[in-house]
Amino acid sequence: MQNIKYENGRLYLLDQTLLPNEEKYIEPKTKEDYYYAIKKLQVRGAPAIGIFAAYAMALIDGDKKELKEYLDSSRPTAVNLSWATTRMLNAYNDGKDLISEAIAIHNEDIAMCKKISEYGLSLLNDGDGILTHCNAGALATSEYGTALGPLLLGKEKGYNFRVFCDETRPLLQGARLTAYELTKAEIDTTVICDNMASLVMKQGKINAVLVGTDRIAANGDIANKIGTSGVAILAKHYGIPFYVLGPYSTIDYNCPTGDDIVIEKRDADEIKTMWYKEPMAPNEAKCYNPAFDVTDNSMITAIITDRGIIRTPYKENLERIKDND
């Protein structure tokens, strides 16, 4: 499944807001189109946002520094966005071919996801029950994905997993996107409400939790879709391994701890009206709608990157894989 396709000088994006009921590709042409696609979640998942923004930097004419700042403002929590635009701006300043650089970022993500999938699969057993939260498959990256990568690769190798997908309110990215990807891959998939996670853990249905991440702080705290930290606390309580999967580019060494991560706030209508014919809360009621929360490193069993499986102490072990540049 290709969520981002570059063909004959044109970029096509699978509009994820229409899934699972309609598969439609759109073609962004202006900087506003690219910004809107990121902001409105037509493209989402930290690696995919980075890839998409890299193509925007290559294809949109004008002041590249201004374009970078404009794109970065669309979703501030996802570090891959600013990572990709910074790399593209540096390439522009160095006189490099920007299309080649964007394609390189895209291809590198494919290779990284394959490595993450292999490392992740090494921690699982045939027949395991897996809990997922949000979506971190090929729709959120390039191929395989991060958190779903071990499951998709395992299916290719003959593993049989039983996957329980948190629906992931308020945008239902688990129900709409993760279940969509896994059922297409013919993996045993059950959608549950977010507040059912504790029950299926207590019933012994879950052997491991796999989640993606939008930013990894230097101390191993991670930001991911809202609700992730609650799932991590439950997994810790029930003695279930809680694995975080993400590419090296998701590590932000300039961010000391999770307290330093900027959390994106989104519109109240995503809670009140987006999925309903009639509003599901009084107009007078306020809504608090942060897109992400931070999971403390003490809740995490291991962080799985394309550079290996990282365990405690996270600060020291993340430092060991850091590029010396």
- Alpha carbon 46 to chain centroid distance? 5
Per-residue pLDDT of 88-135, as tens digits, reads 999 999 999 999 999 999 999 999 999 999 999 999 999 999 999 999
Confidence class of residue 2 from pLDDT cuts 50, 70 and 90? Answer: confident
Mean pLDDT value of segment 290-306: 97
Q: Where in the chain is the domain with CATH 3.40.50.10470?
A: 119-320
Per-residue pLDDT of 25-37, as tens digits, reads 999 999 999 999 9
SS3 content of the chain, % helix, strand, coil (to 5): 40, 15, 40
pLDDT of 325 higher than 70: no
Confidence class of residue 77 from pLDDT cuts 50, 70 and 90? Answer: confident
Sheet of 242-245, strands arranged across: 188-192, 162-166, 129-132, 208-211, 242-245, 302-305, 308-310
- Using CA atoms, how far apart are residues 259 and 19, in angstroms rounded to an integer? 33
Q: Where in the chain is the domain with CATH 1.20.120.420?
A: 4-110
pLDDT of 324 higher than 90: no
- Of 1.10.15.40, 3.90.550.10, 1.20.120.420, 3.40.140.10, the CATH number of 4-110 is 1.20.120.420
Average per-residue pLDDT for the chain: 96
Provide the pLDDT for residue 294.
98
Provide the pLDDT for residue 132.
98
The CA-CA-CA angle for residues 35, 73, 295, to 5°, reads 115
pLDDT of 143 higher than 90: no
Exposure string over 131-140, b if 16+ CB within 10 A, otherwise e:
bbbbbbbbbb
Per-residue pLDDT of 231-285, as tens digits, reads 999 999 999 999 999 999 999 999 999 999 999 999 999 999 988 889 999 999 9
Confidence class of residue 14 from pLDDT cuts 50, 70 and 90? Answer: very high
- Tell the CATH topology of 119-320: Rossmann fold (3.40.50)
Confidence class of residue 58 from pLDDT cuts 50, 70 and 90? Answer: very high
pLDDT of 24 higher than 90: yes
Among 280-284, 307-311, 320-324, top mean pLDDT goes to: 307-311
- Using CA atoms, how far apart are residues 177 and 243, in angstroms rounded to an integer? 20
Q: Which of 80, 85, 89 is nearest to 113 (CA)?
A: 80
Provide the pLDDT for residue 245.
98
- Using CA atoms, how far apart are residues 8 and 35, in angstroms rounded to an integer? 22
Report the amino acid identity of residue 259: D
Residue that the structure tokens 């996957």 belong to: 163
Q: Are 136 and 45 in contact (CB under 8 A)?
A: yes
Is 214 in the active site? yes
Which pTM does this prediction carry?
0.92
**Among 214, 252, 293, 306, which one carries the catalytic annotation?**
214
Mean pLDDT value of segment 168-176: 94
What letter would DSSP give residue 177?
I
The bridge status of strand 222-225 relative to strand 188-192 is: unpaired
- Gyration radius of the chain's alpha carbons: 19
Strand partners, 131: 164, 209
Query: pLDDT over 70 for what percent of the chain?
Result: 99
- Using CA atoms, how far apart are residues 274 and 107, in angstroms rounded to an integer? 35
The CA-CA-CA angle for residues 27, 31, 34, to 5°, reads 50
Strand partners, 188: 162
- Using CA atoms, how far apart are residues 166 and 174, in angstroms rounded to an integer? 6
